Amino acid sequence: MSTAFNVIATLIAKPGQQATLETLLRGLLEPTRLEAGCEQYDLHQDLQHPETFYMLERWSDDAALADHDQSAHIQSFRAKAADVIEHFDLKRLKFLA
């Protein structure tokens, strides 16, 4: 049985691409929040490094995240953001308390 888990996605914009990346990330919020299994999907920006964005996510199970990764809006985001992202990292976290 798969259990709910959290995700922190870190995205860093290439120089001069911060506004474009922010716009693209904001475009993911509504459709992702409507996905089955999405319990949280929130966008944050680093105050000291404004080119760095964090997506704080919570998914009901592995299948929900896998479906999200294959969704049309994520595929479109990847195509559009390929030239504006300098770095991407995804951490899956187990909730302990």
Note the pLDDT tens digit of each residue in 81-93.
999 999 999 999 9
Q: Residues 30-50: what's their mean pLDDT?
A: 98
pLDDT of res. 2:
67
pLDDT tier, 95 (very low <50, low <70, confident <90, very high otherwise): confident
- pLDDT for the residue numbered 96: 83
pTM confidence score: 0.93
Non-local (6+) Cβ contacts of 28 within 8 A are 41, 43, 55, 73, 74, 77
Indicate the average pLDDT of the chain: 96
| pLDDT-above-70 percentage for the chain | 98
Query: Among 62, 57, 67, 49, which Cα is nearest to 13's?
Result: 49
